[in-house]
Structure 1
Amino acid sequence: MLIFNVLLQELRDAYANLGPKHEKEINDLMNSYKKSYSEWVFILRCGFGLLMYGFGSKKFLIEDFASSALTDYSVVVINGYLQQIHLKQVVITLAELLWDQLKMHGKTTWENVPKNQPFNTKSMDDLIAFLDGPHLEDKECFVCVVVHNIDGPSLRDSDTQQYLARIAACSHIRVVASIDHVNAPLLWDKKMVHTQFNWYWLHVPTFAPYNIEGTFFPLILAHSGSAQTVKTASIVLQSLTPNAQSVFKVVAEHQLAHPNEEGMPLNNLYTFCRERFLVSSQITLNAHLTEFKDHELVKTRRNPDGQDCIYIPLTSEALEKLVQEIIH
């Protein structure tokens, strides 16, 4: 066991010290795909799902496509390379985003959802039925689901793939996903491929390193060394949006200023972020927090007053280093 741990640490050190190669060629290749963005959006609007394959990480490519070409739609991200995914929370978020779109169109009638829309009390079947409901004749009203590594370790089981296929088949959902495992197509039967996911296969080799994906095998933030912890957290945060980074910074600064408290109360966090225009609603904040939890960047616990609090499982020294040197 000792030998294994030593070898594992050597492997991690070697991986951390790998320098970038062929950056110009990779950037040129990435930029060449931008010409196809409008075509990819058209394919989604036609009801297909985009499945990207080819050598190299597709994470940056897909995120660039979503942030620049899917600005007219709500986008939810699933990181399949993580060890654990809260799929029901993802579906709840999809339902909440669709509900907001329906309200904008004046179409909020759904007999199974009261006005206070308690989606978290609904079953997966009810939530999927809502996403597939004939709420709008306008087919342009949909939520896009981005799935990095739909063949990832936390998504490979049959039940999860069946749920993903049912979600993809919903009339108000479109899926953009990537695969990397050579046997990934074996996850699906003919119905799932051609009817539910309705894949449009895109060969988009990027030759980009799997810097983010390779970090989570496994990621145990609270149990690694301080230097490794800060490095891991930095890599994760760099992959998030600026607003998400700012929300994390709010929690970090509160924790540093109040080291003896249980964390930052959720209500206080929402009020603080809303006043500074970091989030527009509780739904947006919940989406950020879910992503933090999936990456094991934050955890929750209750203070003596019974309030749920968010805290970062890092030492004060490591957290201070993260705030000062990494988060801008």
Structure 2
Amino acid sequence: MEIDDFDMEEFGLSRNYFLAKESRSSSSKKSVNKLSDIEVLNEKELEAAVANIEPKHQKEIYALKDSYKSSYSEWVFKLRCGFGLLFYGFGSKRALIEDFASTSLTEYSVVVVNGYLQSVNIKQVVACIAEVLWDSLNPRRKIPKENMSILQQPLSSQSMEDHFAFLDGSWTEENDCFVGVVIHNIDGPGLRDSETQQCLAQLAACSNIRIIASTDHVNSPLLWDKKMVNTQFNWYWLHTPTFEPYKIEGMSFPLILEHGNTNQSAKTATIVLQSLTTNAQSVFRVVAEHQLSHPDEEGIPISSLYTACRECFLVSSQVTLNSHLTEFKDHELVKIRKNSDGADCLYIPLPKEALEKLLSEIN
């Protein structure tokens, strides 16, 4: 009797499961919601609302930051031993690192790099560090003959290889003499690409350089391989949560809830495109490149787009192209208007500058 009851209960659960699946499959899978339907604030209203937010737990945050000061001497010792310091944890670590550098690294030259800015130029950073090291050297110090050629020409005109050779040179007799390079947000948007991270790792491996950096992105360790972490950067990881807001770091990012302007529209389009397939991105690129090269036209005719995509092996049929176009139109990435011949043409509702930036992002 118990076995029969169990079988009936199991049958009921299975039946309900398949009924739920059938009901779900019969409903519409495509969402009718659009980003443009969201009611957003303008910039002034949003900034005023953010400014009125009262900070909480200030005493506890101050006590937490003050407790880190007892570790300053230990951090300096780690730098002298050849380690790089990597600060991680919730909250902005900008004030903490700068307080450490200004109070405990007074014997050394320090260069600050704001990695949270998107306009960071790594070549200019390396050249600046080389100039700081050059200025800190004693003019009477003996320079090896094999390295004299590096210093006979202005540092600004030298190549990156010459800069690294200079930063890694045996200019000092003391083992603990170095230039401290503070990098706020080494995982920032202007430093995330592989080439820049390789350059920073090469910089960290120089004998006269010590890196003091902060990181906030959850996937930051994926930027480095085993050699970069253990040999070049030689990180000493410091868990230093501060629970402070990212006020300075967040100023360079567009406000998510701000009323849609050109920059925000381009950013939104980038996020949508990155979620699509590679073929869909390539089809969108064909539309964008045609629009940039033919600014006086109403757009690209759908028939011309199909021909161009067939030639590039992006689509195999009109049905495939239509599925991509439906997705574009649902997310308002493209719109349709008629040209002088009455043919339907596709165009992207973005100005030239924003469209160029969008293409560089998806590339």
TM-score range, shorter chain: 0.5 to 0.7
What SS does the aligned partner of 1:177 have?
Answer: strand
Counterpart in the other structure of 1:111: 148
Contact 2:167 2:206 in 1 (8 A): yes
Q: How far apart in 1 are the matches of 2:86 and 2:174? A: 24
Give deviations 1:219-259, integer Å, cap 9, x for gaps.
9xxxxxxxxxxxxxxxxxxxxxxxxxxxxxxxxxxxxxxxx
1:74 paired to 2:109: yes
Q: Flag the 1:146–1:3 CA change in 2: closer, same or farther, 3 A.
A: farther
Counterpart in the other structure of 2:207: 171
Aligned residue-pair number: 218
Q: By how many angstroms is 1:4 displaced?
A: 7.3
Output the aligned Cα RMSD: 2.1
Q: Flag the 1:105–1:179 CA change in 2: closer, same or farther, 3 A.
A: farther
Counterpart in the other structure of 1:61: 96
Give ranges in structure 1 of 5+ residues lacking alignment: 220-328
Q: How far apart in 1 are the matches of 2:103 and 2:239? A: 20
TM-score of the aligned structures, taking structure 1 as reference length: 0.62
1:29 paired to 2:64: yes
What SS does the aligned partner of 1:111 have?
Answer: helix
Counterpart in the other structure of 2:121: 86
Read off the aligned partner of 1:167 and give its amino acid letter.
L
Read off the aligned partner of 1:113 and give its amino acid letter.
I
1:210 paired to 2:251: no
Q: By how many angstroms is 1:15 displaced?
A: 2.5
Read off the aligned partner of 1:14 and give its amino acid letter.
A
Q: By how many angstroms is 1:215 displaced?
A: 1.0
Counterpart in the other structure of 2:197: 161
1:95 to 107, 130, 137: 130
Give ranges in structure 2 of 5+ residues lacking alignment: 1-34, 256-363
1:50 paired to 2:112: no
Counterpart in the other structure of 2:230: 194
Q: How far apart in 2 are the matches of 1:82 and 1:5? A: 29
What SS does the aligned partner of 1:7 have?
Answer: coil
1:38 to 48, 51, 73: 73
Q: Flag the 1:26–1:104 CA change in 2: closer, same or farther, 3 A.
A: farther
Q: By how many angstroms is 1:134 displaced?
A: 2.0
Q: Flag the 1:114–1:23 CA change in 2: closer, same or farther, 3 A.
A: same
Q: How far apart in 2 are the matches of 1:5 and 1:41? A: 51
| Larger Rg over CA atoms | 2
Q: How far apart in 1 are the matches of 2:164 and 2:151? A: 17
Residues 246-285 of structure 1 aligned to structure 2 (within 5 Å): none
Give deviations 1:67-120, integer Å, cap 9, x for gaps.
0000000000111111110211111111111112223562355323345x5111
Q: How far apart in 1 are the matches of 2:140 and 2:97? A: 29
TM-score of the aligned structures, taking structure 2 as reference length: 0.57
Contact 1:107 1:136 in 2 (8 A): no
Read off the aligned partner of 2:95 and give its amino acid letter.
F
Q: How far apart in 1 are the matches of 2:103 and 2:222? A: 32
Give deviations 1:273-308, integer Å, cap 9, x for gaps.
xxxxxxxxxxxxxxxxxxxxxxxxxxxxxxxxxxxx
